[in-house]
Amino acid sequence: MKDCLFCKIANKEIESDIVFESDKVMVFKDVSPVAPVHLLVIPKKHISSIMEIDKMDGPEIEGMMKTIVSMASDLGLEKDGFRIVTNIGDNGGQSVGHLHFHILGKRKFVWPPG
């Protein structure tokens, strides 16, 4: 989608620190990390938030979820625990209107979140 930051990252119009890429999914490092591990997992196709998940088919959703799990596994996050976050809208704290999952790890997180 024109003017979408993460579409531009997916299309490589804007540079990012890519950790993994398939034809449908990209994983890159968050530019302002809030934890020692802070990755963003996005579908390359424009979806504004998880509320538009119907725009993805079953295999696309499965591929995205399995990418999150394999990233966390490869980084050894499971043993100590970690967090997966997707923010939705203003109250959720979403600042980029393209579906993304934060993978946050290697430090302790509090609950409830701020």
Measured between alpha carbons, how far is 16 from 87 in angstroms, rounded to an integer?
Answer: 20
The single residue among 4, 30, 49, 65 that binds ligand AMP, judged by CB under 6 A, is 30
Cβ-contact 38, 104 below 8 angstroms: yes
- Verify whether residue 102 is a known catalytic residue: no
> Is 30 or 60 the residue whose CB approaches ligand AMP more closely?
30
Measured between alpha carbons, how far is 107 from 92 in angstroms, rounded to an integer?
Answer: 22
Q: Does 48 bind ligand AMP (CB under 6 A)?
A: no
Q: Does 16 bind ligand AMP (CB under 6 A)?
A: yes
Q: Does 21 bind ligand AMP (CB under 6 A)?
A: no
Residues ≥6 apart with Cβ < 8 Å to 95: 87
Cβ-contact 35, 26 below 8 angstroms: no
Q: Does 31 bind ligand AMP (CB under 6 A)?
A: yes
* Annotated catalytic residue, options 38, 98, 100, 102: 100
What is the contact surface with ligand AMP in residues (CB under 6 A)? 5, 16, 28, 30-32, 40, 87, 93-96
Active site amino acids: 100
